[in-house]
Structure 1
Amino acid sequence: MMKQKGSSGRAVLLYNLDHSERGRKIKFILIRMGVRIKNIKKEDYLKPIGALAGLPGIVAPDSVYEGPGFMEEMLVMKGFTGHQIDDMILRFRKEKLDKINLKAVITDTNKTWDSITLYENLKEEHEQMTGQ
């Protein structure tokens, strides 16, 4: 019996990376690593992160986000080990890609958050870490 793709396996949610050379390079690296990629559109920002990543049991509301959104790049990982995250970051560096400041792993805490809530938390955390 084949393992069903989607709920199992690694996936990355990408924000604001779909129309650039940088985005193409990042996607190429992720594909070579065997990672499923999902570009998140602004209208989906109200859906829970877990639903966007295909986690079972998390239902997305039918509401459509109509606010200003955010322009920063954001990367959200599902199903990665610490070693796999390190490998991904190393591959980005080898391609001389600047780091993506807003990165997260899906957790029990944030899987029910929407993209805006996750973004605001990551941005605040990044600013605290960099002293901005």
Structure 2
Amino acid sequence: MYQIPAHQPRGKQIRELLERLGMPYEDISTAMLSQTVGYLAGLAGFSRNTESYSGPEFSDEFLLMSQLSRGRMDALLTGMKEAGMAPVQLKAVVTEHNQHWRLDALLREITREHEVMKVYGKLAKLIDETAGALTPGSPIALRVALQKSQEAIQRAEPDPQELRQCLAMLDSATRGA
């Protein structure tokens, strides 16, 4: 767990849930961000990195989950929901792909993906609303903005900047319509 302080009510609540579920946990400090994901997860073959971390501190809560079955992961997420806890937005599962990454690199990537998904969700919702309200007499600017937005979210790897631009363009076009 990163940025989930034990002394705050939310941190206490999450730790109690983990203990109730019999899931061991560790706190990750900013100084540990230079460690590999594999080392932090206690995987064999990974040793402590002696390089100290000197980058920025991440402010968002983060859960790094390792060696949890799908059922155990679901139990944790369901337990949080049933307890009325807001979900931890940034989460990652240790994989063969990311176990060699430094944690700061993984956090940057997870943060970027989370931001893309937030913009993507807003844009997809606005596209649906706009497409549903489109009439034969709708302005050309609205139709063009809708078309570009639909193309942007259909890409295999949507560009975050393009999504933001499409969201602004479509939002502006719908207000002017």
What is the TM-score with the length of structure 1 in the denominator? Answer: 0.85
Residue 67 of structure 1: CA displacement? 2.4
Distance (Å, rounded) in 2 between the aligned partners of 1:75 and 1:90: 15
Residue 109 of structure 1: CA displacement? 0.8
Deviations 1:18-77 (A, max 9, x none): 231101100110111111111001111101011011111012211111222211000010
Residue equivalent to 2:30: 42
**SS across alignment from 2:64:** strand
Aligned-partner residue type, residue 16 of structure 1: Q
- Mind listing any 5+ residue stretches in structure 1 that lack a counterpart? 1-13
Distance (Å, rounded) in 2 between the aligned partners of 1:121 and 1:71: 14
Moved more, 64-73 or 48-57: 64-73
Distance (Å, rounded) in 2 between the aligned partners of 1:43 and 1:86: 30
Correspondence 1:1-132 to 2 at 5 A:
14-18=1-5, 19-131=7-119
Between the two structures, name the one with larger relative contact order (CA 8 Å, sep ≥ 6).
1
Percent identity between the aligned chains?
A: 29
Aligned-partner residue type, residue 4 of structure 2: L
> Deviation above 6 Å: which 4+ runs of structure 1?
none
Q: Tell me how large the CA RMSD over aligned residues is.
A: 1.2
Higher strand share: 1
CA contact (8 A) 1:49 1:113 kept: yes
Aligned-partner residue type, residue 86 of structure 2: D
Number of positions where the alignment pairs a residue of Structure 1 with one of Structure 2: 119
Distance (Å, rounded) in 1 between the aligned partners of 2:27 and 2:34: 15
Aligned-partner residue type, residue 58 of structure 2: F
What is the TM-score with the length of structure 2 in the denominator? Answer: 0.64
Distance (Å, rounded) in 1 between the aligned partners of 2:101 and 2:112: 15
- Mind listing any 5+ residue stretches in structure 2 that lack a counterpart? 121-177
**SS across alignment from 1:69:** coil
